[in-house]
Structure 1
Amino acid sequence: MSSPLGANVFITGANRGIGLGLVKEMLAVGGLKNVFAGCRDVDSAAELQQLQDKNGPLRLIRIDVSDDRSIRTAFGQVQKQLLDKGGLNLLINNAGILYKEGVSLREPIRDTFLHHFDVNTVGPVMTTAAFLPLLKKAAFAGEFARVVNIGSSLGCIGQAAVSPRLSPYQNVAYGMSKAALHHFSKMMALDESDIVTVAIHPGWVKTEMGGANATMSVSDSVAKIMARICALTKSDSGKLLYGEKELMP
């Protein structure tokens, strides 16, 4: 049985929260040849290791999206694993940070703001660039070739009047970094027309990052994300999506 996602998928930030939920859902759906689950510390990713013991397609990849050498090494491992087995059909840039301190307008810390951009924006840019040859290989073969950036409604400038009271810890840096990520998604869609690139808002999810007041479970969020990915068409490329809706960046 083939998967509607294609044969080979890579997910960053896969050790917890939405990333881990996506890994579990993909393994449950089946049909994938390789689910590459990326995280900074493979050795401490106990739940991923347990899943790997029970699921042949799951492969753990060490990657720190703020470290270019780590990204290149991860690409080399995935490339070696695929060999002549096809390209990469889906890259999900999920890794991200949201800090509590130094992220407000009144008490900003420069390094903290920059770190949000480094991980949440530049990380996906560098990761996508590194894995682009494998994505284009899939596209050239006429296969599913998609880049999904996990965005946020907090990065929607048109919703700025609403977002501050919803943003955990009043984190302005997070929304700014996600707005930039949405722009990257649009530019990627324009520059690489053979690859469908979108940003998807996961909802306000009950994770360590989302906080205790979040309104959506990980399983519900993952179900929406998966349904949207499976339904993607070229006309969606460059958009910020949530469920069946297109959000205004």
Structure 2
Amino acid sequence: MSSLKGNILITGASRGIGCALVRALLKCDGVKRIFAGCRNPVHAYNLQEFESSNKLKLIKFSVQENESIDSVFDEIFNELNGEGLDMLINTAAIFEEVQTKEGYEMNIVYGMSKAALNNYTAVISKVYKDSNIMVISICPGPIYKDVTGSSLHPGISLDESAAEIINTITKLNIEDTGKFIDRFGTVIPF
């Protein structure tokens, strides 16, 4: 399917775009191992059928717990005999409702978190660029079951978005670090 290769960790892999990316990456010949991080792997029903493959390992991973993060990287390091990861794809979401004077203002908080993520991507990319580590932020596009429920953008399937994201990732290089792009690789200004 693509020229991606090596060992990959995906957070938030039990459902949504994370799960779709795992399924798409399983089709990539060059990918050696995929570690699918899930808060509760027992509930990762859409991936359990693939776990018998030596290519996929479901791992318990919560991005909200520092101990979990440390133990997961130790587990992966041991599993790979010190070989290490070639790619980290973060799709895990942490969202808590915030009470405001007018009630729950999800759109404001959501928008602020995305702006902060884009800024963090730009800053951290500068830190790691000299180490040849690329840091990017990708918008998957309007997904059919998008949280917005908007009928203005009917959306695409998770699998379509995942395939386009992987295709785009294969075309990126270190000069793209720090950018916010859509699933086709078009830069989105922020």
Q: Mark yes or no: TM-score above 0.5.
A: yes
- Equivalent residue for 1:200, pick from 127, 132, 138: 138
AA aligned to 1:62 is: K
Unaligned stretches of 5+ residues in structure 1: 109-168
Query: Using the alignment, how far apart are the partners of 2:111 and 2:46 within structure 1?
Result: 29
Is 1:184 the counterpart of 2:183? The answer is: no
Where does the alignment leave 5 or more consecutive residues of structure 2 unmatched? Answer: none
Question: Given the superposition, is the C-alpha separation of residues 104 and 247 from structure 1 closer, same or farther in structure 2, using an over 3 Å criterion?
Answer: farther
1:245 aligns to 2:186 (yes or no): yes
- Residues 155-175 of structure 1: CA deviation (Å, up to 9, x unaligned): xxxxxxxxxxxxxx8522111
Other-structure match for 1:175: 111
> TM-score, normalised on structure 1?
0.68
- Give the CA RMSD over aligned residues: 2.2
Who is 2:45 aligned against?
46
Residues 175/103 of structure 1: CA separation in 2 closer, same or farther (3 Å cut): farther
* Larger helix proportion of the pair: 1
- Per the TM alignment, residue 63 of structure 1 is displaced from its structure 2 partner at its CA by 0.7
User: Which of the numbers 46, 52, 67 marks the counterpart of 1:69?
Assistant: 67
| Maintained 8 Å contact 2:98/2:106 | no
Residues 211, 37 of structure 1: alpha-carbon distance in 2 compared, 3 angstrom cutoff: farther
Does the alignment pair 1:107 with 2:107?
Answer: no
Q: Distance in 2 between matches of 1:219 and 1:102?
A: 31
Runs of 4+ in 1 over 3 A off after TM superposition: 101-105, 207-214
Q: Which position in structure 2 is the counterpart of 1:9?
A: 8
What is the CA deviation profile of residues 181-207 of structure 1, one whole-angstrom value per residue up to 9, with x for unaligned ones? 111111111001120110001101123
SS in 1 for 2:145: coil
Whether the 8 Å contact between 1:197 and 1:237 is mirrored in structure 2 is: yes
Among the aligned pairs, what percent are the same residue? 34
- CA drift of 1:32 comes to 1.5
Match of 1:225 among 133, 154, 165: 165
- Write the letter of the residue equivalent to 1:206: Y
State the alpha-carbon separation in 2 of the partners of residues 178 and 24 from structure 1. 25
> Which one has more relative contact order, counting CA pairs under 8 Å at least 6 apart?
2
